[in-house]
Amino acid sequence: MKIFILLALATAAAAVRYDGYQALRVEPRDELQLDFLNNLKNELEGRISFWSQPRTIKRPTDILVQPRFQDDIKELLDAKQIKYSVMIDDVQSVIDSQFRSEDEVEISADFIYSLYHTYAEIQAWVFDIADEYSSIAQQFQIATSYHGRAINALKISTGGGGTKKAVYWQGGIHAREWISPATVMFITKSLLERYGVDNDVTEILDTFDFYIVPSLNVDGYYHSWNFDRLWRKTRSVNRGNGCRGVDPNRNYEYEWGGEGANPNPCTETYPGPNAFSEREIADTTSFLLNANQEFVCFIDFHSYSQLWLAPWSYTARTRLPEDVEDHFDAGMKAITALESVYNTDYLYGPSALTLYAASGCSVDWGYAKLGAKYSYVVELRDMGSYGFLLPSDQIIPTGEETLEGVLALCKHMVEEYK
């Protein structure tokens, strides 16, 4: 009996709840207001979570505020005449609406693309889709997580014995960005089902080999399903510190530990004790470097903000890469095609200049170290109505428009490389 009660208590305490938490959209007007927000962020680090960084007056900053701080924060913003609005009134109710009911789980044995899926379901999907398209697709384990979970990947190849140029796409590096794995799975199955049916897709798959990882940060993803929906980082233990996890998108070995990374392990942008400290990142990058293929494309799918970003990410204070014009041409083709589907507004630009500087990011590593000319980081929907909590009825539309975006990019690459 005692044990039972203890267990019950432990489970009740495990899941983080966000009852009454508000997401505030804050729109700084000038550098002074921006500085104020940055100071606020530093002071309240760990107590208030910034969903986006207050780095530019061109983009709003979204802040998650717990009930007991709401009055104070709003008073502060009013006093400084900083414009804000309540983006989400009760974060927990939006979270609740995202989890599937038991009925939905039982609906069908088929994979339902219009729902969010658990870690186990996504990994099973990799095996199943490889089986379904076994003449051109193959499952393989690309990495192992800190907790020993398998990180499965798909290789799509229509022949060529490894001599073709290659494309690499990954989703789910940030755990709470659920739309990312969902979108990567949607575009992957769309490519597979259109091969031999649609001329463009056939030419694309006949020109390039594809390596696709739907869910990279699997420990974080598992944690976001079972314990804290808003978890971002990995789940590794930080020595001498009670706060867990490293930001895997600050952990790449290119300009590691510079701007936009925070040495405090309790922050969301902690880059880790050293580059590639996270097994998920070390394993995937070493796979790519040893794959014996020439990678020409690297895309890391994130959410949210509707941005298509190119190098450099690590700083705005350097010359843009020599391929800047080609990055721009291909990137603009991608967002033009994407926008034409549902009129979803996207912005294209070099990462640090468009958003904020972030060092040790995948996009820079993909370009500078892997040598993939077309290296991008894509921030999927939305613009901040739901932020990381995008409702599942937007999965298919997001998939459909993103598919058109990547197809336009691939067509550009076919022209260049075929």
355 binds, among ligand 0X9, Zn ion, none (CB under 5 to 8 A by kind): ligand 0X9
Among 177, 379, 401, 404, which one carries the catalytic annotation? 379
Q: x/- binding map, residues 263-302, to ligand 0X9, per CB under 6 A?
A: ---------------------------------------x
Helix (H) or strand (E) holding 348: strand 347-350
Cα separation of 258 and 273, whole Å? 13
**Binding-site string for ligand 0X9 from residue 148 to residue 187, where x marks contact by CB under 6 A and - marks none:** --------------------------x--x----------
d(CA 293, CA 21): 47
Single out the residue of 157, 188, 313, 398 in contact with ligand 0X9 (rule: CB under 6 A): 313
Of the pair 117, 302, the CB lying nearest ligand 0X9 is at 302
The three-class DSSP label of residue 295 is: strand
State in Å, rounded, how far the first CA of the chain is from the last one.
69
Cα separation, 100 vs 115, in Å, equals 8
Separation between Cα atoms, residue 199 and residue 153, nearest integer Å: 25
379 is catalytic: yes
The Cα–Cα gap between 64 and 21 comes to 7
Q: What are phi and psi of 100, to 5 degrees?
A: -75, 150
**Is residue 302 near Zn ion by the rule CB under 5 A?**
yes
Give the residue from 84, 246, 76, 113 showing the smallest Cα distance to 175. 246
Candidate list 205, 309, 395, 406; residue touching ligand 0X9; CB under 6 A:
309
The Cα–Cα gap between 91 and 22 comes to: 6
The answer to whether the CB of 289 falls within 8 A of the CB of 370 is yes
Structure tokens at 46: 């760990």
| Binding pattern for the stretch 71-110 against ligand 0X9, x by CB under 6 A and - elsewhere | ----------------------------------------
Partner from ligand 0X9, Zn ion, none contacting 309, C-beta within 5 to 8 A by type: ligand 0X9
> Of the two residues 98 and 202, which places its CB atom closer to Zn ion in the complex?
98
Radius of gyration over every alpha carbon of the chain, rounded to an integer in angstroms: 21
Write the binding mask 339 to 378 for ligand 0X9: x where contact by CB under 6 A, - elsewhere: ------------xx--xxxx--x---------------x-
Residues that bind ligand 0X9 (CB under 6 A): 174, 177, 249, 302, 309, 313, 351-352, 355-358, 361, 377, 379
Residues that bind Zn ion (CB under 5 A): 174, 302
List the catalytic residues: 379
